[in-house]
Chains A and B, each alone.
Chain A
């Protein structure tokens, strides 16, 4: 959000436009690792979607299709919780490229 002059502010600090947290792109906070989706190991259990503390697991037609890196902070909870298939996780945390 752009910085506003005092005369442009609401009377008191109140956010009047609901749901505007989507404007805050928190993906920039991700510094070490990013989750990478490996579809061949995914059983579509959606645990990653359920556990994601943000809303960074992209789901289309009820299926995980990848991650929204504009919001993913790289916490790794999804990879930790992923049961995968036959001992192979569907989410790998890979080093964030600078």
Chain B
């Protein structure tokens, strides 16, 4: 029996952490992630978990302590957002390079300056190339479900990589919604026991971590990371999702295809804004417009072939990014274009930057973009490739 509750996104992920009961959790508070770790720390203080909580002086130290604990052989979880994730940047590469399956919740927040605490995807997009598996979540239910699956994906013997689970700061993190929690025993059975590969605490078999690896061998270590991300993770994500569906009844894939099968125009959009956009897609469908939506779930590794298959037959696609690469295109846009380029016939693609620093993404924004796509589909002409929407002049 699932427990149906009304909780915040932060609370939902803290509940997943409680059920999984990691060995170690090193974290530093930062808005809007604070509530998540506060609730998890309360579980630890009240004896609901056996987790050793390590309080540190910065996110750089938080990730460093997570790396140490994971190297020792522990199952490790943490959470951060925005500038906290940015401060972890150096250590993110150490975690993935050392192939430590740490799971981290990222409650997406903007980067300073100007200082802003609200939702924006610049934080996780900044970690794009760090070698972490990235799962994105539209709502609290998905954040909870993705967190549970993330442990299985990260710890899979074919993977052994850290994974981060994104949800939108405040919009999801602090909003109370209906959520179905799985039973504790079910989650424990699903995640199972974690067996580390080469734990440092196995003192009968001494070993050294962190050796200097120079020109003669570094290239091969990086190829090994590429190889697992490029060839292994997608299948593991799908396998874990299939198992998860059996225990939860909720289906996950590499991305969500919403009314895409016969679509001619579509939006590609991450996280909570996809919910708003789906409503607008519905209203266009009611008017007879063949509109659809693709919501990426697995952003790293990016499922290029599958996205190409899902979007290749369309006439026009708009990729909406809640982060910008100043002087370049939005990060999701470049991935979608890379996916589509090998096709002989491909849709016109435009890029919209929206919702930076928590600016509301409203139905009328999605409407305007879909109307523009209708026109592009009819004329075949794109006037502006990249544009900010909802910006005052």
CB-CB under 8 A from B210, the residues of chain A are 13
* In contact, B211 and A10 (Cβ under 8 angstroms): no
**B52: min CB distance to chain A, Å:** 23
**B74: min CB distance to chain A, Å:** 15
Q: Tell me the bound Cα distance from A10 to B99 in angstroms.
A: 10
Report the contact-size class of chain A (Cβ under 8 Å from the partner). 10 to 19
User: B245 on the interface (CB 8 Å rule)?
Assistant: no
User: A16 on the interface (CB 8 Å rule)?
Assistant: yes
* In contact, A9 and B209 (Cβ under 8 angstroms): no
User: B207 on the interface (CB 8 Å rule)?
Assistant: yes
* In contact, A3 and B217 (Cβ under 8 angstroms): yes
User: B220 on the interface (CB 8 Å rule)?
Assistant: yes
**B228: min CB distance to chain A, Å:** 9
Q: Tell me the bound Cα distance from A11 to B199 in angstroms.
A: 12
With A6-B227, A16-B207, A18-B207 as known contacts, state yes or no: A11 contacts B220, CB within 8 Å: no
User: A87 on the interface (CB 8 Å rule)?
Assistant: no
CB-CB under 8 A from B197, the residues of chain A are 11-12
Which residue of chain A has its CB nearest to the CB of B210?
A: A13
Q: Chain A's interface: helix, strand, loop or mixed, by majority?
A: loop
User: B363 on the interface (CB 8 Å rule)?
Assistant: no
User: B388 on the interface (CB 8 Å rule)?
Assistant: no
User: B160 on the interface (CB 8 Å rule)?
Assistant: yes
Q: Tell me the bound Cα distance from A11 to B161 in angstroms.
A: 10
User: A23 on the interface (CB 8 Å rule)?
Assistant: no
Q: Tell me the bound Cα distance from A16 to B200 in angstroms.
A: 10
User: B216 on the interface (CB 8 Å rule)?
Assistant: yes
Q: Tell me the bound Cα distance from A40 to B213 in angstroms.
A: 45
Which residue of chain B has its CB nearest to the CB of A15?
A: B208
User: B327 on the interface (CB 8 Å rule)?
Assistant: no
User: A62 on the interface (CB 8 Å rule)?
Assistant: no
* In contact, A14 and B207 (Cβ under 8 angstroms): yes
Q: Tell me the bound Cα distance from A14 to B71 in angstroms.
A: 10
With A12-B160, A14-B207, A18-B207 as known contacts, state yes or no: A6 contacts B99, CB within 8 Å: no
CB-CB under 8 A from B126, the residues of chain A are none
* In contact, A15 and B207 (Cβ under 8 angstroms): yes
With A12-B98, A13-B97 as known contacts, state yes or no: A6 contacts B221, CB within 8 Å: yes
Of B100, B213, B223, B224, most A-chain CB atoms within 10 Å:
B224
Task: Report which B residues bind A (CB closer than 8 A).
Answer: 97-100, 160, 197-198, 205-211, 213, 216-217, 220-221, 223-224, 227
